[in-house]
Amino acid sequence: MTFRSLEQAGDLTGKRALVRVDFNVPMDEGRITDDTRLRAALPTIHFLSSKGAKVVLLAHFDRPKGKRVPEMSLKPVVQPLSRLLEQDVIWADDCIGPDAARAIDGMENGGVALLENLRFHAGEEKNDPTFADELAKLGDLYVDDAFSASHRAHASTEAIAQRLPAYPGLSMERELEALEAALGNPQRPVLGIVGGSKVSTKLDLLKNLVTKLDKLAIGGGMANTFLYAQGHDVGASYCEKDMAETAREIVRLAGQNNCKLFLPLDIVVAEKMAPGAPARTRGLGEVDEHERILDAGPETAARLKRAMDNSKTLIWNGPLGVFEMPPFDKATVEAAQYAAELCKAGKIVAVAGGGDTVAALHHANVASDFTFVSTAGGAFLEWMEGKALPGVEALKV
The DSSP-derived string for 341-383 is HHHHTTS-EEEEESHHHHHHHHHTT-GGGSSEEE--THHHHHH
Task: Return the pLDDT at 247.
Answer: 96
- Compute the distance between CA of residue 132 and CA of residue 140 in angstroms, rounded to an integer: 14
State the pTM of this model: 0.89
Residue 329, Cα to own-chain centre: how many angstroms?
A: 22
Task: Return the pLDDT at 72.
Answer: 96
With CA atoms as reference, report the closest residue to 193 among 262, 269, 265.
262
Is 378 known to be catalytic?
Answer: yes
- Compute the distance between CA of residue 6 and CA of residue 285 in angstroms, rounded to an integer: 56
- Compute the distance between CA of residue 62 and CA of residue 119 in angstroms, rounded to an integer: 8
Is 20 known to be catalytic?
Answer: no
Task: Report the C-alpha dihedral over residues 105, 106, 110, 114, rounded to 10 degrees.
Answer: -80
With CA atoms as reference, report the closest residue to 142 among 152, 151, 155.
155
Catalytic one among 280, 378, 386, 387?
378
Task: Kindly provide the residue ranges of all beta strands, DSSP E only, lying in 231-337, ordered along the sequence.
Answer: 260-262, 266-270, 280-283, 292-296, 313-317
Task: Return the pLDDT at 165.
Answer: 97
Per-residue HEC secondary structure of 22-75 comes to CCCCCEECCEECCCHHHHHHHHHHHHHHHCCCEEEEECCCCCCCCCCCHHHCCH
Is 353 known to be catalytic?
Answer: no
With CA atoms as reference, report the closest residue to 314 among 384, 201, 216.
216
Q: What are phi and psi of 225, to 5 degrees?
A: -65, -40
Task: Return the pLDDT at 377.
Answer: 83
Task: Return the pLDDT at 397.
Answer: 87
Positions in the chain whose pLDDT score sits under 70: 1
Task: Return the pLDDT at 124.
Answer: 98
Q: Which bin fits 30, alpha (ψ -120 to 50), beta or left (φ > 0)?
A: left
Task: Return the pLDDT at 1.
Answer: 58
Is 66 known to be catalytic?
Answer: no
- Compute the distance between CA of residue 83 and CA of residue 76 in angstroms, rounded to an integer: 12
Biggest CA–CA distance in the chain, Å, is 71
Residue 119 is classified by DSSP as: G
**Could you tell me how many residues make up the chain?**
397
Beta carbons within 8 Å of 362's beta carbon, 6+ residues apart: none
What are the angstrom distances between the C-alpha of 299 and each of 176, 284, 334?
A: 35, 11, 12
Could you give the domains of the chain? 6-170 (3.40.50.1260), 186-384 (3.40.50.1260)
Task: Return the pLDDT at 23.
Answer: 96
Catalytic one among 4, 75, 126, 198?
198
Catalytic one among 355, 377, 386, 387?
355
Catalytic one among 37, 119, 215, 292?
37
Residue 213, Cα to own-chain centre: how many angstroms?
A: 19
In the chain, what percentage of residues exceed pLDDT 70? 100
Beta carbons within 8 Å of 59's beta carbon, 6+ residues apart: 20, 21, 22, 23, 24, 74, 77, 114, 115, 117, 118, 146
Give residue-wise pLDDT tens across range 243-288: 999 999 999 999 999 999 999 999 999 999 998 889 999 999 899 9
Residue 258, Cα to own-chain centre: how many angstroms?
A: 28
Please name the helix (run of DSSP H) or strand (run of DSSP E) that holds residue 301, with its range, or none.
Answer: helix 298-309
- Compute the distance between CA of residue 173 and CA of residue 181 in angstroms, rounded to an integer: 12
Task: Return the pLDDT at 197.
Answer: 87
